[in-house]
Structure 1
Amino acid sequence: MGSLGAAAPAISPLAQRLLLALAQEQQARGGQAVALVRIAKCLDASASSLLRELAMLNLLLVQAQQPAWVQAEAVEGRWMLALTAAGAAAAAQITEG
């Protein structure tokens, strides 16, 4: 697992790829939320595996007393994902590192 600094928890390579893909897709859409299935397609992963990864990431962040990095919301029957400010900062750190 990689680390994103002293205060940030170590996260899996899949979580890192998810954050980077979400950052890229969200930026391409002017900051709008991105469908989970779009991110799954970009990563060649199942949507359910990405939801499990998000659940594990959120648990790590809660344990580290960090704010959430990804907001997931069901909109008209579709899961939509959006980076929070903390998530955007984490994605930027992954890109730099």
Structure 2
Amino acid sequence: MADATTAARARIDRALAELERKILELKARPASAPAIADDDLFAPRAGNGADAARVAELEVAGREASQALARAAAAVREVLDQDDLDQDELRQDGEETESEAR
């Protein structure tokens, strides 16, 4: 486990050193300089049309899956509600039978 911890720490140290280097480079650049390609780590990458089409497909599939899950959840709730009603009817029938026996 110590080896894994040491390796993880080394990766973190390298990542921090790289981040510090990039920060120093950005600070040293004049404001009028053109942007560096990777100066915004969180900016979306410029993709091609295939990427946009794939994202659109995944969004549609996600919406369809969400709707299917909502329908399934509604069906499960309906079955559970019906089961509760059936149980209530059985209890009432049992109480009526007991009162008739007296």
Q: Same fold (TM over 0.5)?
A: no
Asked which structure has the greater RCO (Cα within 8 Å, sep 6+), the reply is 1
TM-score (norm 1): 0.25
More strand by share: 1
- Structure number with the higher helix fraction is 2
